[in-house]
Amino acid sequence: MIVGRTSLTEFAFTGLIATKDKSPVDAPRLIANSGLRYAVSNWTATFGGRHVDKRYFTILNDLSVPAYTVADAGIGYRLQNLGFAKEVTLQLNVNNLFDESYIGPIGTGGFTVSGDNQTL
């Protein structure tokens, strides 16, 4: 089974600040997720990845955090007819499999117009 999701966004601003052709703060242009799931008998294996494009953290788009791509993996085993449950699945997942450094969601208290590194 292959699963995936992609989002490509287009934005337009109108207002008092010169934001024409600027991206909204903390809104990447591209977000993509994809995954594979393989099952044999009671065993399952999963592998997936996600990519988040560069994001700006000022309204004028003069400061940004870089894009990142991370991979996740998992393995599971399905137990059946345990008496107290019809089916139980044990699952071990590893997120960020290759220990990629990245900046997650940014700015929770508002954003500046230009040049404030403290927002991170």
Residue 96 structure tokens: 């960020």
pLDDT in tens, 24-50: 888 888 888 888 999 999 999 999 999
Bigger pLDDT: 98 vs 116: 98
Name which residue leads in pLDDT, 106 or 80: 80
- Residue 41: enclosing H or E segment and its boundaries? none
Strands 43-52 and 30-40: antiparallel
Provide the 10 A C-beta neighbour count for residue 74. 17
Tokens encoding 24? 């909204």
* Mean pLDDT of the region 56-62: 85
Residue 30 located in a structural domain: yes
Q: Are 71 and 95 in contact (CB under 8 A)?
A: no
Identify any residues that bridge with 62 across adjacent strands, giving them in sequence order. Answer: none
Domain-located, residue 87? yes
Domain presence at residue 119: no
Instruction: Identify the residue with better confidence: 27 or 77.
Output: 77
Task: Establish if 120 belongs to a structural domain.
Answer: no
pLDDT reading at 98 higher than 60: yes
pLDDT on residue 113? 65
Q: What is the pLDDT of residue 109?
A: 59
Q: What is the pLDDT of residues 2-19, one digit of tens each?
A: 666 666 665 555 556 666
Q: Residue count of the chain, please give it.
A: 120
Residue 21: domain span = 2-114
In the predicted structure, residue 117 carries a pLDDT above the cut 80: no
Q: How far apart are CA 11 and CA 7, in angstroms?
A: 13
The domain total for the chain is 1
- Report yes or no: 31 and 40 within 8 Å, Cβ to Cβ: no
Distance of alpha carbon 72 from alpha carbon 74, whole angstroms? 7
What is the pTM assigned to this prediction? Answer: 0.74
